[in-house]
Chain A
Amino acid sequence: MSAAGGQTLDRHLVGFVDVLRRSGIAVPLGSTLDFGRALAEVGTGTRSGVYWAGRATLVWRPEDVATYDEAFEHHWMGAASGSVTAAEQPTITLLLDVPEDADVPPVDDGASDADGDHISVRWSRTEVLASRDFADCTEEELAELHDLMRGLRLFGATRRCRRLRPAVHRGRPDLRRTVRAALRTGGEPIHRAFSEPGVRPRRLVLLLDVSGSMEPYARALIRFLHAAMVGRRDVEAFALGTRLTRLTRELSTRDPDAALARAAVAVTDWSGGTRLGDGLRSFNDNWGVPGMARGATVVILSDGWDRGEPSVMEEQMGRLHRVAHQVVWVNPLKASPGYAPIARGMAAALPHVDRFVEGHSLDSLRSLAQVLAD
C-alpha cells in the first residue's frame, strides 16, 4: 500500500471512530490504534473482515452492537447520512428540584396545609399533575438526604467472605504470618498468628419504579438512590418503567445534579406506564438471577401499581426472592391512612417480600437506611 493510500485509510479509520464516539460508544485512543493494527492483519478486502476487526477492538458491550452496526453501515457502506443521529434516543427531561418550582402555587395548597397530611394529598391520583408542592420541602429534604449519605456509608449489611483477615488467638492458624514472625526469632515460631473469615458489605440492588403513578416520589427517591451509591461500591441501581434501565453508571457520579441529569437522559420512559412484572422479569433474566441479586439485598421502590398480569409479578418476585438474601419493598403509599396492599401487583408480590416498609418521607427513608444496615 502506498503512503498516500495508508493515509486515506487512516483518515477513514479515525473518521469511523469519531462517528462511533458521537453515537455514544466510548472508544479509548488505544483501541483506535488496535483497530488500525487489526485491519493491517485482517486486510481491508472484505466487508466482513473490516466489520469483525472493528467489533473485536472497538466494542465491549453487547448493547453497543446495534449502534456499531448502524455506524458501520453509515460510514463504510455510505448509507444515507443522518441515520446515525436518528438512532439517538428521544430524551425526556427529568425535572430536578429547582427553586423556581416553588414559585408555582400548589394546586391543592389548602388541603395539604389543613392537617399536615401531605402524604395522602400528594399521593392522591388526581394530584399527580399537581405534584409540584413536593418542591416546597425540597431544599431541606435535599440537605437531609445528603445527611443520609453518611449513614449509608457507615452501615451496610455484611456477609462473611472467603478472604481471611488476621485475628487474635482464634480462627485458623496463619502459617504465612507465623513463619514471617518466626524468621525474626531465628526460626522459632514464638508468635503464632491466626486468621478468620473477613466480612464484606452485601451487594445492594435498588429498583426504582419511575412510572406515572410514582412520579411525585420518584424524584425524591432517585436522590435516595444516588445517596446510597455515593461512597459505596457494590450498589446497583435500575429504573423500572415500561422497560428496565440500568442507572448504575449514570448515578455513580459524586455530584448529585450531574448524576440526576445523566439519569434523566438514560431513562426514556420517565412517568410512562407501568409494567412492573415485565420489568422485574427483564431484571431477573439479564442481571438478577445470573448473579447480581444472589446473596444481595434487593430494594424495590414502588407503589405496586402494575398493569400487567399479577401472575407474572408473582412468578418474578418468587424468582427474585429465591436468589436474594433479602427483598425489601418500599411503598410510599403504605403510610396513607387506611392503606391496604390490595393493588393487584402489590398483593401478588407481598408473599415474596421480607420487609415491607414506608418510603413517603425523609423519616421513613432514614428508617429504610436503618433497615438496610440491619
Chain B
Amino acid sequence: MAGPTDIRGVDSVDGVVSALAAQDYLADEGLATAVFLALRLRRPLLLEGEAGVGKTEVAKALATWSGGELIRLQCYEGLDASQAVYEWDYSRQLLHLRAVEAAGVASGTEVSEITDELYAERFLVRRPLLRSLSSVDGLPPVLLIDEVDRADDEFEAFLLEILSDYAITVPELGTFRAEVPPIVVITSNRTRDVHDALKRRCLYHWVQHPDVEREVEILRVRAPHVPAALARDVAVVAAELRDMGLYKPPGVAETLDWAEALVLVGVDDLDAAAFEMTIGALLKYREDQDRLRSRGFGDLVGLLRGA
C-alpha cells in the first residue's frame, strides 16, 4: 500500500490487519473489521473502551499508514465552535484596519470594501474540524476526535452536521466542502453516553484489553528491547490483574510502561522485590497497590513459575 493512494481502497479485513501491523499496531479481527468498514463505507469510527486500551493509537496508526496528516481535537468541557471549527483573527483584523488608516488608502475606497477585506481567508484561523476538510496531495487527513464524552452534548450537534456532509459553512466566506473526506476516528471513555444521533452516523467498536498472546506480541513490537521471557511474564501478570477487580486495571499503556521500567531497573526475572520497586508504573491507585500487596507479590510470582 505504498505511495500516495487513498487507503480506503484497501480490499480486505486481512489487508487492514497487516497494514496496521506494519505501523506497529496489532489489531484483532473485530477492530480490523470495524476499521475496514469505516474506510470502505466512508463512515466515522466510534471507539469506546476503558482508558489505556489503545483507542487513540488506532488513529495514529491510520495516519502513518495513509500518509495523511493527523489532526487531533482533544475534547474538554466548554469546547465550542471557536476552538473546534474556526475563529477570526481579531487582532490581525484590528491591525489591518489601523494599517489601512495609516496608509491613507481609506480616503479613496469604500468602507464596504475594507470590511470585505477583513473577512478574507487570511484572517481565518482554522481549527481542527475545518482543517480536516482540506487535504494534501489528495490524501485524506485522519481526524481524531479524542474523548468526545468530555465535551458538552451541545458540541455533538456540531459534529453531526460536519460528519454527515463533510462541509462547514462560514457565513462570511461560504461553504467549505471536503474534496477528499477525512478519515474520522472518535474515541470515548464512556463517562456518559454519546448521543444516539451521533452513534447512528458512526460504526461502533468496543475496544477490549488484549489477551495474553496478543499482549506479548504488542510488547515485542512496541518495546523490542524487553526480553521475550520478561514480556510474557508481564503480559501474564497484567491479565491476572485485570481479573482481580481493581479500580483501574492496567491498560496496554501501563503494561508497556511497566515492562520498560523493569528493564530500566535491570530486572530479568520477576520477583517480589522487582514488584515492589516498579509497582507505581502499573497500578496508580493506592487501594489497588494495597490489594496487590495483601495478596502478596509472591503469589503472582508463583503463578508465573507455575505457568
Chain A interface (Cβ within 8 Å of chain B)?
28, 30-31, 34, 37-38, 41-42, 48-49, 52-53, 55-57, 59-62, 65, 161-163, 175-176, 178-179, 182-183, 186-187, 189, 233, 284-285, 287, 289-292, 315, 319
Contacts and interface: CB of A to CB of B under 8 A. Distances in A.
A28 B200 CA distance: 8
B103 to A, nearest CB: 13
Contacts of B193: 61
B214 interface: no
A179 B119 CA distance: 12
Q: Which 9 A-B pairs have the closest CB atoms?
A: A291-B191, A162-B78, A52-B33, A175-B90, A187-B97, A56-B34, A163-B78, A56-B203, A62-B206
A290 B93 CA distance: 43
A292 B149 CA distance: 10
A60 B240 CA distance: 28
Is chain B's binding surface mostly helix, strand, loop or mixed? helix
A140 B82 CA distance: 50
A44 to B, nearest CB: 13
Contacts of B30: 52, 55-56
Contact residues on B (Cβ < 8 Å of other chain), bracket: 35 or more
Contacts of B206: 62, 65
B292 to A, nearest CB: 15
B203 A41 contact: no
B2 interface: no
Nearest to A48: B29
B204 to A, nearest CB: 5
A319 B90 CA distance: 45
Given A175-B91, A183-B118, A49 B13 contact: yes
B36 A42 contact: yes
Contact of A163 (B36, B80, B114): B80
B203 A57 contact: yes
Nearest to B34: A56
Given A28-B200, A31-B200, A175-B91, A183 B115 contact: yes
Given A38-B37, A175-B91, A291 B192 contact: yes
B205 interface: yes
A56 B111 contact: no
B176 interface: no
A233 B152 CA distance: 11
Contact of A62 (B43, B48, B118, B192): B48
Contacts of B90: 175-176, 178-179
Contacts, number: 101
B77 interface: yes
Given A42-B36, A53-B33, A179 B41 contact: no
Contacts of B114: 187
A190 to B, nearest CB: 13
B192 A38 contact: no
A34 B80 contact: no
B77 A53 contact: no
B41 A38 contact: yes
A110 to B, nearest CB: 50
Interface string B194-230: 0010011001111000000000000000000000000
Given A42-B13, A187-B101, 4 more contacts: A34-B41, A56-B38, A178-B90, A290-B191
A48 B51 CA distance: 26
Contact of B205 (A55, A186, A291): A55
A63 to B, nearest CB: 10
A292 B192 contact: yes
Given A52-B30, A179-B93, A289 B247 contact: yes
6 contacts: A34-B41, A56-B203, A60-B196, A162-B78, A179-B90, A187-B97
B126 interface: no
Nearest to A59: B204
B247 A319 contact: yes
B88 interface: yes
B88 A176 contact: yes
B118 to A, nearest CB: 7
B189 interface: yes
Contacts of A52: 13, 29-30, 33-34
B40 interface: yes
A56 B205 contact: yes
Nearest to A29: B200
B34 A291 contact: no
Residue of A28, A65, A189, A290 with most chain B CB atoms under a 10 A cut-off: A290
A186 B111 contact: yes
Contacts of B1: none
A285 B50 CA distance: 11
Contact of B41 (A41, A59, A189, A315): A41
B191 A292 contact: yes
A285 B247 contact: yes
Nearest to A295: B77
Contacts of B43: 34
A327 to B, nearest CB: 18
A190 B55 CA distance: 50
